[in-house]
Chains A and B, each alone.
Chain A
Amino acid sequence: MNASENGAATGTGTPVGTASGPATRAEYCVIACAEAWRGGGEILASPMGAVPSVGARLARLTFAPELLLTDGEATLVGPDGEPEGWLPYRRHLALVTGGRRHVMMGASQIDRFGNQNISCVGDWDLPSRQLLGVRGAPVNTLNNPVSYWIPRHSPRVFVERVDMVCGVGHDRASAAGPSATRFHRIPRVVSDLGVFDFATPDRSMRLASLHPGVTADEVRAATGFALTVPADVPCTRAPSPAELALIREVIDPGRTRDREVRA
C-alpha cells in the first residue's frame, strides 16, 4: 500500500511555514534523502549519517510504509523501535547479496561516474590520509541500489577521479562486465546543495534538483568535474507541513540534522 500525499517529485522551492518557522536547508536534505526510498517496496533502508537516518524514518512513516529499518545494531525495528526481526552482520550481508536493500553511504570522494572512495586519500601504497577502508562498498554497489549523501559539497569530495574505487561507478562496472553491471544501480547522490543522478547518455553525473537558495553556478563551482546541468533545473521539493512536524517533533527533536548540514 502507498499512503503518500506528498507524491510530487519536485516543489516550488517556496519555504513552507510552520509554527516553528520555514524549512531549513537540513530539512530539504532530509526530504531529498527520504525520496531515495520512494517506491522501493519491501526492502531494507540502510542510511548512514544523521540526515539519511532521519530521511529513512520519514519515508517509513509516510510514503514508504513497507520499508525495513534497523536499530543500528542487529535488530529490525518499526518506526517506534519495536523489534520485528534479527539482522546480525552475517544476515545483513546475505540481505545485501539478495538485493532487497537500498543503502545510502557517505563518500570522502565521488567522481563523475559515481565511483566512491572511503578508504584513503593519495596513493594507496602510502596514503597521505588513511580513512576507513573499503568497508562493504564493493559488495553493496554490485548487489543492491546504493545512493550517496555528501553533507558538505566541495571540489575535494566531488573529484575528477577518486584515489581508491571502493563503491563502483558506472564506467568501472561496465568495464568489469555483465556480472558487475547485473545488479548495479546508483539512484541518487544528495548533497547540501542539491540532488544528482546519472540520467545522461554516458552515465555521468547530472544535476537533478537544486535546494532552495542554491544556484547552478554555485554547484558548478563546488564540483571538481564537468557536471551536466539541464537548461531548466527544478527545485528540490518542499517538505509538507505534516513532514516538517514529523521531522521536528517525532523523528529528530534533538536536531542531529543541523549538526551535519551548514545552515
Chain B
Amino acid sequence: MTPEEVVGRLSSGMTVGIGGWGSRRKPMALVRALLRSPVTDLTVISYGGPDVGLLAAAGRIRRLVTAFVTLDSIPLEPHYRAARQRGAFALTEIDEAMFMWGLHAAANRLPFLPVRAGLGSDVVRVNPELRTVTSPYEDAEEFVAAPALRMDAALVHLNRADRLGNGQYLGPDPYFDDLFCEAADAAYVSCERLVETAELTENGSLQTLLVQRHSVTGVVEAPGGAHFTSCAPDQPRDEAFQRAYAAAAADPVAWEAFAARFLPPDGDEKGYRQAVRTWHEEQAAPARPEEQATPARHEKRTDPAGYEKQADPARHEERS
C-alpha cells in the first residue's frame, strides 16, 4: 500500500493508535499522509511524541489518550503544549503502566486489567470514569482497573516487513507496536524496507519478528518513514531537524513557513524527503560572511517561568 491508501481507509471520528515511543520509531510518513488528508476528529492513543504534536497543530485531535508527550532530547513538545494551553482537545492522561496494561487488555479482549498504579494520584481525579477493582482473594487488595485501549486502527513503523504483514524490529526496543496491532481492528505497518519472507530471518533472530501478519491489515514501504524520530539501526534521530521543528513549532509565524516548506497539503512523502535533504545541504553549506545566519543559540536550561524542565529521558535513563 501507499501512505495515501492507508489514510484512505481511515475516517473522521475514529480511534487511532500510534506506535513507537516519544521521538522513537514513530510512523511519521503515515502521520504526514494523515495531515494531507481531510481525516479529523480523532481519538489518538499514543506514547506521545511529534506524531501528537503535528496532529494537534493541525487540529485533528478530539481526544488524546497518553502518559506523556515529549521529543526525548527536547523534553517538551511545543505544539502539544500550545494545544493543551488553549484547550484544543480532551485529554485522558494515564500512567505509562496503565497505558501498557490497557493495550494488553485490548489485545486479550478483556475489559480491563488490574494495576497498582494511579491510586492516590490525580490520575483518578482527572479521569473520574476510572474504576477500582478488589481482589477476590484473601488479601482483598484494591487496584485500578486499567480499561482496555481498543482502537479502530493502529499505525506503526518497523525496520523490515514482508508483503504479508510480518514485521520486524531491529533496534534495541520493540516498544509496544505488536500490542498496538493486536489491540486494533485494522493495523497498518510502514517499514524501512519491504523484503521477501525468507530475508526476514537473515536480518535478525526469530525473536525480532514480533509483529505478525494475522494482526496486520496492510504494509507500506516507507524508507525514512520514521523521520525525524529515531529508527535504530537504520537511522538515528535527526536531531538537527528536530531542533528546527521544535523552534518553528514554538512560534506560529515560523511554523507557517516550516509547514509550507516541509508539509505542503498537495505534497507527498517523496517531496518531504527531498525538502529535508535540501535543508540539510543548506545547513552544511558555509554561510557567506554578508549573510551569516544567526548562530545557534544554546537551549535555555530553564523555561521563562522558572519551572525546571525534566531531564532528557533518553540520555538520563527515564524509562517510566
Residue numbers in A under 8 Å from B315 (CB-CB):
72
A222 within 8 A of B: no
B57 within 8 A of A: no
B122 contacts A53, CB within 8 Å? Answer: no
- Which single member of B69, B117, B122, B305 contacts A132 (CB below 8 Å)? B69
**Closest residue on chain B to residue A169 by CB atoms:** B120
Stretch from A13-21, A34-42, A118-126, A195-203 that touches the partner? A118-126
A124 to chain B, nearest CB (A): 5
- Which single member of A142, A151, A154 contacts B119 (CB below 8 Å)? A142
Residue numbers in A under 8 Å from B69 (CB-CB):
132-133
In the bound assembly, the distance between CA atoms of A6 and B115 in angstroms comes to 40
In the bound assembly, the distance between CA atoms of A136 and B80 in angstroms comes to 19
In the bound assembly, the distance between CA atoms of A125 and B86 in angstroms comes to 10
Take A93-B96, A152-B308 as given contacts and tell me if A133 and B141 are in contact as well, using a CB distance cutoff of 8 Å. no
A119 contacts B93, CB within 8 Å? Answer: yes
B21 contacts A89, CB within 8 Å? Answer: yes
In the bound assembly, the distance between CA atoms of A77 and B316 in angstroms comes to 14
Residue numbers in B under 8 Å from A119 (CB-CB):
93, 122
- Which single member of A130, A150, A176 contacts B120 (CB below 8 Å)? A176
Stretch from B9-17, B27-35, B172-180 that touches the partner? B172-180
A252 to chain B, nearest CB (A): 13
Q: Number of contact residues on B: which range applies?
A: 35 or more
B118 within 8 A of A: yes
Residue numbers in A under 8 Å from B311 (CB-CB):
48-50, 106
Residue numbers in A under 8 Å from B174 (CB-CB):
88, 90
B172 contacts A121, CB within 8 Å? Answer: no
- Which single member of B84, B120, B176 contacts A90 (CB below 8 Å)? B176
Take A72-B314, A139-B320 as given contacts and tell me if A108 and B307 are in contact as well, using a CB distance cutoff of 8 Å. yes
Mask, B278-320, CB within 8 Å of A = 1, is 0000000000000000000000011101111011011111111
B320 contacts A106, CB within 8 Å? Answer: no
Take A72-B315, A137-B121, A138-B123 as given contacts and tell me if A132 and B70 are in contact as well, using a CB distance cutoff of 8 Å. yes
B176 contacts A142, CB within 8 Å? Answer: no
Residue numbers in B under 8 Å from A172 (CB-CB):
120-121
Residue numbers in A under 8 Å from B316 (CB-CB):
47-50, 52-53, 72
B75 within 8 A of A: yes
In the bound assembly, the distance between CA atoms of A61 and B307 in angstroms comes to 33
Residue numbers in A under 8 Å from B305 (CB-CB):
121, 129, 156
B172 contacts A143, CB within 8 Å? Answer: no
B310 contacts A108, CB within 8 Å? Answer: yes
In the bound assembly, the distance between CA atoms of A127 and B86 in angstroms comes to 8
A75 contacts B100, CB within 8 Å? Answer: no
Interface centre among A53, A89, A127, A166 (most CB of B within 10 A): A89
B314 contacts A73, CB within 8 Å? Answer: yes
B219 within 8 A of A: no
B308 contacts A151, CB within 8 Å? Answer: yes
A101 to chain B, nearest CB (A): 9
Residue numbers in A under 8 Å from B67 (CB-CB):
133-136
B93 contacts A259, CB within 8 Å? Answer: no
Take A90-B176, A126-B87 as given contacts and tell me if A133 and B116 are in contact as well, using a CB distance cutoff of 8 Å. no
A131 within 8 A of B: yes
Take A47-B317, A88-B173 as given contacts and tell me if A135 and B117 are in contact as well, using a CB distance cutoff of 8 Å. no
A131 contacts B307, CB within 8 Å? Answer: yes
B68 within 8 A of A: yes
In the bound assembly, the distance between CA atoms of A87 and B317 in angstroms comes to 11
A127 contacts B320, CB within 8 Å? Answer: no
A156 contacts B319, CB within 8 Å? Answer: no
Interface centre among A133, A172, A260 (most CB of B within 10 A): A133
Residues of B within 8 A of A (CB): 21, 48, 66-70, 75-76, 80-81, 84-85, 87, 93-98, 100, 115-123, 125-126, 141-143, 172-176, 301-303, 305-308, 310-311, 313-320
Residues of A within 8 A of B (CB): 46-50, 52-53, 69-70, 72-75, 86-90, 92-93, 96-97, 105-109, 118-121, 124-143, 150-152, 154, 156-157, 164-168, 172-173, 175-180, 182-183, 259-260
A-B contact pairs, 14 of them (CB 8 A): A73-B314, A89-B21, A89-B96, A106-B308, A106-B311, A108-B310, A119-B122, A121-B307, A127-B84, A138-B121, A139-B118, A142-B119, A172-B121, A180-B119
